[in-house]
Structures are given as structure tokens and as C-alpha cells.
Structure 1
Amino acid sequence: MITMDTIIREGNPILRARAAQLTFPLKDDERQLAHDLMEFLENSQDEEIAKKYRLRAGVGLAAPQVAVSKRMTAVLVPGEEPDKPIFKHVLINPTILSESVQLAALAEGEGCLSVDRDVPGYVPRHARIKLRWFDLDGEEHVARLQNYPAIVVQHEIDHLNGILFFDHINKDNPFTAPEGTLLLE
């Protein structure tokens, strides 16, 4: 089971490396990793389990964050009802096929399970993306995401490319975003 102690923190060079593509069929340890990443997200969003194991809530966790430099990430964006998530997938070799000109940012900024400090500021990202990924069996999937789910996926893909969320924050004026950026509550 992945816990907060398993997750590596900023300063670890793995977080700044470009992760390697996975090949199919996946090895047993890669399938287990996919399971473990999603299990962490499920556990972190369950109040009782999160409290018991002192887990910070997360909506995404990438393999590099647990010191495995491979292009795999789990995403679990909860919905209004616990058993109906907005987007729940393990993404293997995800690629953004297209993105909107329109930008969006979370009004409260972003956080990261690998960053133990608060880094205030807007993180401009594309408001809409067309995403392609492969599932654990190598089946290709394509989806269009917008607003919060699109932001979460872009944050996770950044992890696969050695980028951390605060790299996108305007260093001189953290709460300045490009003109026309949607601020999401």
C-alpha cells in the first residue's frame, strides 16, 4: 500500500526526469503499480482511511512520484456521488492530442503530494484538452476533458515530463494569469 512515506518529495531528481514509455504487455510489477496508484487515490479520498494512515487527499498520482520513472499515472476526480467519479483511469503513455487556446487556472492554486509547502499563485493550463492514453491491456482510449479534470490530467502529465506545477506560476506576479484565463472555483 502506498502511503505518504512512499511518495518522493521535491528535490528528488526523479521528479525532474522525463519518464520512459511503457511497452505492452505490461509486466506484473507495472500492473501492480497501476493498482497501487489508484488504490492510494481511493484511500486518500476516504476520510476514515485517510485519517488512519495520515494520507493527504489526492486526485492524481504519477509513477515518478513513487520513484518509478515510467509514463503511468492514476487520476480520480470525484463526482457529486462517491460511486460516480467524473474521471477515473490509470493512464499509460498519455498524450495530449489537442488543447484549447483558452486557459484556465484554479482560483486557490494547485498543490502536489510531492510538494510539502504551499506555493501560492495561478497555474495557467489549457481549459480543454483531447487526451489519448492506453489502459492496462494496451487498449487505446481518447477523451475530451475540460476545466478541473483537464487541469488534473495536465498536472499529472507534467510529472511524466519532469515538470512541477510551480514551474508554471508567474515568478514576479504569482496571482497574474494571461489575459482571458478562466479562474475556476
Structure 2
Amino acid sequence: MSKFDSNYFITMKDIVREGNPILHQATHKVAVPLSSEDKETLICMRNFLKNSQDPTIAKKHKLRAGVGLSANQIGLNKRMFAAYLTDENDRKHEYMLVNPKIISHSVSMIYLPPSEGCLSVDREIQGFVPRYERIKVKGINLDGEEIMLKLSGYSSIVIQHEIDHLNGIMFYDRINKENPFKLPENSRSLY
């Protein structure tokens, strides 16, 4: 039984930090239909993101603001993540996805200036992380239904970051090693 039921309050001490081998392993597929434990864990992860973005709660519990959280970031080898974000058009998005897979993407790329951040990384990392501007993602939602999401802009960046986690890839693995601010030709800044 996982401790991460929907009543559990995730804090920063639950977040696995860089250096932990689980962050560099591809996660295991989650059995469908979803167990109540997996559903509760996803809700718990989503609740952490909401709490981390609430200035009062975040300050009280010393939470770093996050927009996405993958199961391996709380020590679980499971292919699922939660995301809670506001896009560049001030629209709120909430995702809890199991066994997500990018099935198509744009040729055009975007990036966040000056770089991306991560709850599992306690240091600032300089460099651009090129991401696909638009992606189509297939996955299982909280109700156990297969869904298809078409994402663009900031939502696309966040979901690619989380899917990378599930594949054992950290965001800084995508930064050009020779020149951290070098980008593919077909790239533009999101902002």
C-alpha cells in the first residue's frame, strides 16, 4: 500500500532529488484498469501541485512551486504524472495521465527562456531546452479511459518535460553540451 493516498500531503522531503538512480530509469507501465491506489496517488500528486502554487500554503510548508510531477519524482517506478498549469493565454490546465505516449509532433520547436526548472533539481541550470511546439499525446485518464490530447505552447513544454521524466531523461540532458544557448534552426522563444 502506497502512503500517497488522496489525504497524504506531499512536501519537498517526498521529492526525489537529482543523483537518485530512479530519475534515470524508464518507468514501468501502469496496469489498466487503474487500481484505486494509482488513482489516489495521481490525485495526491495533483494536490501537491495546487498546494505548491498557493502562496500561503507554499510558504507555510516551504514548497517550491511546480507545474508537473511524475511518479518517479516521488520514488514510484510507475509511468504516470500529474500537471497543473496556467498557459501563456492565462488558461488553467489539469492533467493526470497514465502510460502517456507522444504519437506525433510539429517540426517547429519552442523553448523557455532562460531555461526550464525541475522540482528534483535544486540548482539553477543555464541553457535552452528545445521542445516541440505542438504534440499529440495518447494516454489513460483518471477514469481509465484512453484519451488523446493536442497540446501547444507552454502545455506542450510541460507535458514533454514530464514524459521525459518517465523515460529517465532530465531536462538538462536536452541542452546542447558544447553551447547551452544553441538551438535548432526551427526554434523560437515561447515568450
Query: TM-score, structure 2 length as denominator?
Result: 0.92
2:83 aligned with 1:75, yes or no?
yes
Sequence identity percentage: 49
Kindly state the Cα deviation for residue 55 of structure 1 after the two structures are TM-superposed: 0.5
**Runs of 4+ that moved beyond 6 A:** none
Counterpart among 22, 36, 39 of residue 31 in structure 1 = 39
Question: Residue 90 of structure 1 corresponds to which residue in structure 2?
Answer: 96
Which deviations, in whole Å up to 9, do the C-alpha atoms of 1:98-126 show, x marking residues without a partner? 00110111112100000001110000010
Contact 2:87 2:154 in 1 (8 A): no
Give the alignment's Cα RMSD to 1 decimal. 1.5
**What number of residue pairs does the alignment pair up?**
183
SS of residue matched to 1:68? coil
What does 1:154-173 align with in structure 2 at a 5 Å threshold? 154-173=160-179
Which deviations, in whole Å up to 9, do the C-alpha atoms of 1:145-171 show, x marking residues without a partner? 111100000000000000000000011
Question: Residue 151 of structure 1 corresponds to which residue in structure 2?
Answer: 157
**Which runs of no fewer than 5 residues in structure 2 stay unpaired?**
1-8
Distance 2:88 2:180 in 1: 31
Distance 1:145 1:30 in 2: 24
What does 1:93-132 align with in structure 2 at a 5 Å threshold? 93-132=99-138
Query: TM-score, structure 1 length as denominator?
Result: 0.95
